[in-house]
Structure formats: C-alpha cells, structure tokens
Structure 1
Amino acid sequence: MTETQEMVIILTGASRGIGQAIAHYLLSRSHKLVLISRNHAALDQLHYQYGSDSVEVLAGDLSDFSLAAKAVDIANDRWGRLDALVVNHGTLDPVKKIADCSPEEWRKGFDINVTSAVALIRAVLPSLRKTRGRIILTSSGAAINAYQGWGCYGASKAVLNHIALTLAVEEPDVTTISVRPGVVDTEMQREIREVHNKSMSEKDAAKFLGLKKDGGLLKPEQPGHVIAKLAVSGKTELSGKFLNWNDGVLAEFQEAL
C-alpha cells in the first residue's frame, strides 16, 4: 500500500496507548493532525517531536460538544482541508452492574463515548464530503460480548458500530469503518486488572490478568497502525463494516510488528 498525499486528520485520544501509536504513525509520514485532548501538556511531546507545522492541539473535554466545530475550523483554517476523523477516545466507566448503576452514570458514559462522537461526526461531514474522506471509529469486542459491569461501555461501542452502518447508507461519499482493536497493552487494561477487577466476575478478571501475565496483549502499534492506514486510504467498499484489526480483508493495512 502506498501513501503519497499528505492528509489532514482530526484524532481524539492521542495522549496514550492506541491513539498515541496512531499519531506517531501519521506524523512520521508527514500527515497533519488536529489533536483533541483534555489538556495540552499530555500532547507536548508530539508537538516537540514533530513541530507546530504538523500538529495543532485543541484542549478541552469532549463532553463539551462545541469542541467538534472548533477542531474542524482549525483544520480548514490551518491547512485548507480535512480528510479524516479518527474517534479513538472513550471511557470504561461506569464499571458496575446495571442494577447498581444510576441513569446519570450511564448518561455520562454515553456523553463521552457516543454523543461526543456524534458531535464530531456532524461537524466533520461537510468537509469530508468535499474530500471524499474517512471516519474511523475505534470500537471494542465488548460491543458484541458481555462482561459483568461493562454494560455501559459495551452498549456505547455497539452504538458506534451502528453509526458506521448508518453513515454508510446516509453518506455515500464518506467511508466510515468501525475497528475492533483487540486486547491491547494500554492504561485501560491496567485499570481493568488493578481497579475494575473488583466489579467484574472472577472469571473475567482472571482472563484479563492472565493475558498480561502470559504475554497475550497486543502492542498498541499493531491495531494503531492499521487504524492510521485506514484513515489515510480506507476503501469505500469497507464502509459500514465492523472489522477486527487483523481481519483478512484488512491484510494490506497490516504489518509485522
């Protein structure tokens, strides 16, 4: 797969884990990024390493839906176009059984994982229609598998998958793909093992502990680089699909790591 044209991409969740791997991949290949983070300091290293010509940071909490339009304005004002949106942020909270969780906690979880994504998508669509661009959604296996205490998270990721399906119908000039990144060695996994394990079933807690202990976790670069490449050159025929990062149809986007 060849990548020639420099792309302008909005990326969320870039301060660590998969998002950071996506950012490094894209910036090392001269693409331009608007990064949304709760604080600028978390992304200072990317600014320092790649320079202000390639990176713009918008500081704020994505539950402030006005950030979406601001990010689009930055991309268009700075580089004159927008080619892709990567929605990679999210929270596992609240990790509680449905019987023990308040509606307000679910609302907060959905505001972070779903409603902010809708705000971003709505804001980018006019620009992406012009460039026949792409929207890549970082989903989860929890969208199709149930874990005790993960109801809000899993349901929110299932919504993202359906948003991809809907956009494939409603926005034929924009390619939207939902990606399952697998179980990755990230801060979220540490929290699952050390904090949220108390709210999970013993079986599920043991599963995630064993993956770390036995070296079964993926490196962030493995799914991260696939997501980055899809943002640059994901094909129209993939639009609306929910795909594992290592699915056979994504072979050209994968690499040995």
Structure 2
Amino acid sequence: MTAVTSLPKPTALITGASRGLGAAIARELAPTHELLLGARSGDSLRGILEDLPEATGWPVSLTDYDAVAEAVAPITRLDVLVHNAGIADLGTIAESSVEQWRNTLEANLIAVVELTRLLLPALRVASGHVVLVNSGAGLRAHPGWAPYAASKFGLRAFGDALRQEEPQLRVTSIHPGRIDTDMQRAIVAGEGREYRPEEFLTPETVASAIRNAVETPRDGHPTEIVLRPY
C-alpha cells in the first residue's frame, strides 16, 4: 500500500501581526498556512507566538529597508502576503507638519511598496495573493484624517497598478470601517469621545473576510472588499 504524503501548507507573511487585527488574521490563517508573523521586535511577537507556536516570528522594522532586504532574502516562495502594519497619526491639515505627512506615507505606503517589490520573485513562484489592509479612509477622506487618507488612497492606487502589472498574482484591497482595537481606542480618545466597542467591527470579522478572500477559488479574483459596522 502506497503511503499518502500530505502536501506542504502554503506560506503566508502577515505584517503587524503582534496584536489587534494582525493577530486575528494570524489566527484565521493558522489552520491552513505556514505563518511568518511580522512585527517591529521579537519581544512584541511573544504573545501571539505563544498562542500559535508553529508560526515563525519575522521581526523587522519595515522602514529599515536594508534590514527588510536581508529579512526577505531566505523567502523563495510566498503564497500570501498580508500588509496589515500601519500608523494612524491624525490631525487637521492646518495643524499638520511635513514630518507627520512623511512618516505616515512612509509607513502606510512606501514601506508596503518596497516589501512587495522585494517579495515579487517569491510571489511569482507561487502565483501568490497580496492583501492590502486599507481603510474606509482610502475611499473617502474626512476632516482631520488627511495624511492618513492620502496614504490609503495611494495604497489603493498601488494595488490597482500591481494587479495590472503582475497578472499572475491576485491583489485584494480590503476597506474596513473602524475596528475595535487599541489603535481605535487611541483615536477615539483623541477625538474626546466615549469609547463604545459595539460601534465598531471586531478584528475577527475583518480577519474572516480576509481568509475568505484568500480561499476564493483561483477562477475568482476578489479585487476589493468593503466592510462597515452593521
């Protein structure tokens, strides 16, 4: 009787995976994927790696491009790349600074572009899937959100261009509304409002939508997903 050898799991790299939405995405994909979990430091990944001991930590600052290039060098095949890391430094245009605009665009757009560019050979090998965690602000800008919205509009444009330039890849932009995370708590505190978790999407709901996109059969290309709190 011939032994049945199971096929290796596909590999997924998730940035910003130490907490919040990134950790929820990791838990959703863990049963079906080998995981590389990205964060700025190994210490910040300790909690999620205790929950998912079969995952591998991938600690690197995404705006340190020399370090990123070194970190991606061993990756020769990548089935899924989830860009979840980002920042939300809010404020009005009148009160904003060059440094705020530069930092926001660097973290939310330029670092995403460079990581994707470096991983294109590995993604091509797998005919892989790039998931861009965007925002409702990437579809419509609101007062006080200009730098963040500009970075997310740019991220959507990057996804559109990548989809056309690399037709063997699938590229999904997901635009969730506000999510119940620590980042959201900080945003609401800055707005001077009471925090009500029931007003927001749960990380698990958004992570489930991402898993569904990744698991869509190859004859379908989920290009954009928009989620709003019910």
TM-score by length of 2: 0.87
How far the C-alpha of 1:121 sits from its partner, in A, is: 0.8
Q: CA deviation at 1:58?
A: 2.4
Q: Which residue of 1 aligns with 2:104?
A: 109
1:179 aligns with 2:174: yes
1:69, distance to aligned residue in structure 2 (A) = 2.9
Aligned mates of 2:123, 2:172 — CA distance in 1: 14
SS in 2 for 1:185: coil
Q: Is 1:128–2:123 an aligned residue pair? A: yes
Are 1:43 and 2:25 matched, yes or no? no
- Distance in 2, matches of 1:161 and 1:179, equals 9
Q: Give the deviation of 1:72 after TM superposition.
A: 2.8
Q: Percent identity?
A: 33
Match of 2:146 in 1: 151
Q: CA deviation at 1:197?
A: 1.0
| 1:50-61 correspondence to structure 2 within 5 Å | 50-51=52-53, 54-61=54-61
1:234 deviation in Å?
6.5
1:214-245, CA deviations, whole angstroms, 9 ceiling, x for partnerless residues? 72211110011221342354756436x33214
Which amino acid counterpart does residue 43 of structure 1 have in structure 2? Answer: L
- After superposition, the CA RMSD in angstroms is 2.2
Per the TM alignment, residue 153 of structure 1 is displaced from its structure 2 partner at its CA by 0.6
The change in CA–CA distance for 1:221 and 1:164 in structure 2 (over 3 A counts) is: same
When the two structures are aligned, how many residues end up with a matched partner? 222
Q: Relative to structure 1, is the Cα distance of residues 183 and 20 closer, same or farther in structure 2, using a 3 angstrom cutoff?
A: same
Contact 1:6 1:30 in 2 (8 A): yes
**Alignment gaps of 5+ in structure 2:** 1-6
Residue 191 of structure 2 is matched in structure 1 by 197
2:88 pairs with one of 70, 86, 92: 92
Residue in structure 2 matched with residue 70 of structure 1 by the alignment: 70
Aligned to 1:249: none
- Aligned partner of 1:254 in structure 2 is none
Q: Given the alignment of the two structures, is residue 218 of structure 1 paired with residue 201 of structure 2, yes or no?
A: yes
- Structure with bigger helix share is 1
CA contact (8 A) 2:60 2:68 kept: no
Match of 1:98, SS? coil
Mapped contact 2:72–2:118 kept (Cα < 8 A): yes
Query: SS in structure 2 opposite 1:99?
Result: coil
Following TM superposition, by how much is the alpha carbon of 1:128 offset from its aligned partner in structure 2, in angstroms? 1.0
| 1:30 shift after superposition | 4.4
In the alignment, is the contact (CA less than 8 A) between 1:90 and 1:112 conserved in 2?
Answer: yes
SS at match of 1:100: coil
Specify every segment of 5 or more residues in structure 1 that has no aligned partner in the other structure, as ranges.
199-204, 247-257
Runs of 4+ aligned structure 1 residues displaced above 4 Å come to: 232-237
1:82 equivalent in structure 2: 78
